[in-house]
Structure 1
Amino acid sequence: MADSPHDPAGPGVNRDDVRGPAGSDRADGAHHRREEPASETAPKEKKQKSFWRELPILLVVALGLSFLLQTFVARVYLIPSESMEPTLHGCPGCTGDRIVVEKIGYHFTDPRPGDVIVFEGPESWSAGYVSTRSDNVIIRGIQEVGSLVGLVPPDENDLVKRVIATGGQTVECCDDQGRVLVDGVPLDEPYITMDFPFTPGVVTCDTEIPSGRCFGPITVPDGHVWVMGDNRSNSADSRYHVGDEHQGAIPLENVIGKARFIVLPPGRWGMIDSPEIQSS
């Protein structure tokens, strides 16, 4: 997403007739010619012509490769909110993390519990989504082309959450320690640092005012995953959408890829942890 320079020097080679020693002609009457060094102007101009002719081809190739990489291999996404703190940093008006999302792996295997994934939100998740595209037809067209090569974000409600349970599993909260259960077994979630209060005997799922952690049980439909934000007290995740047609779960066809590592800002570089959270 040239002009040809003119050579004022002609062929670039000058030829002068010369005499023999002492300015006299040679006995055989032959005249010898001496060639001056070729001008450097012509080779430089040829290089310039070659560069300007090749530049459009290089740009097309670069854009084509970018399109293929962004579509089939990996794409960079910006984290705009706090729902995945502290694993991923983001907030309105601040410099959020930029993450690389790899797309190939899930063509061969399904997401597993513990994976951090990016997905396109189903209809019920996109009720408040506002298009990022301009109303101007020309600008919108440029934005769409930029999106194809990764220069502009796609115009869709893409979200990032962590997989907690997969199709056929039953998920709920909480056990007597406030932990999420999958098929009755508590999860090991070391990445959780912010959650609703849960105090045995004081604030639990059975108290008059239950803990905000409590939900379920929900059986995840086949071909879906149940997702939650690491910032449990500030994440509109599957728990928030249990009344939709998917019971809050995400269809596998909506999954874009797995979040692999943080590339920006430099101080946040690193791999994104996807630990085993269910006991084997």
Structure 2
Amino acid sequence: GRLVQMIGAAASLDTLATLVQSAITAALSEASGAGLAALEEKAAHSSECLELLASVPPLADIIRYGEARKTETERLAGLLERLIIEGSIALPYAARDLDAQAASALMGALRKADEAIRLVEPDEHVLEAWRNGLAAVLDSSRSTALVAGCAAHLLYEAGHLSAQATADLLAKRLSPGTSVIDAAAFFEGFFSGAGQRLIYDEGLRGAVDAWLASLDEEAFVAHLPLLRRVFSNLDSMERRRLIEAVLGKRASLPAGLTPSPDGGEAWRRHFGLIGKLLAGEPSHG
């Protein structure tokens, strides 16, 4: 049928994985068999990290939701483990020296693959390979900062970086010794989609606070779009709680925002802008 033809013509591993998911979901045994065979063949010859990672979520979904027959599930589970391990090995090399577009694409694939891996709960040796791949990205000086920040966040969420170690890491990666561009990229990689962490984690909040206070006015204004992207995932109540966490209970939205007396001159200088940003108001440099 048509799906078998599409499987035969699929050029990439992730496209093939999605087609196999469709075939198994629709209980098309001929297409499923052809797709699994093609997947195994292509996986044996693929070293493209982005493809490997992007193929994980559709296969994990099949296993998790029990859409495959027992024999198919066993084949899929073995294939998925192989893809995760190969992706983990390729990841530290794939994360090196990327431009902004490639780094963003890899970060997206990384987050989706990690979510799928957590949901499907593979064997410990597979999880260990995945964590080792993330740690290697974080440890390499050649890793693109955006991807390194994402790897740090995933390790933190998995409990393999303690709160104190993560706060220390952020303090280091956001320190004045790091270029503003790399610091901003690491910040975005870590907090993109996870700005809520700043509400609850005093150590992380302190590291970010210190970074923001270290920026001169021009650099701070230049990074307002980045901060807006990170905070855009917070609803109004979460933004209020973040302001209260930073400034104390006397802060209120949108009026009455006052800087902490011991916040430092840089923080007082920036406060009007970041207060508007957190309140959801437009800011103009």
Scaled by the length of structure 2, the TM-score of the pair is: 0.21
- Which structure: greater strand fraction? 1
Which structure exhibits the higher relative contact order, with contacts defined as CA atoms closer than 8 Å and separated by 6 or more residues?
Answer: 1
Answer with 1 or 2: which has the greater Rg.
1
- Which structure: greater helix fraction? 2
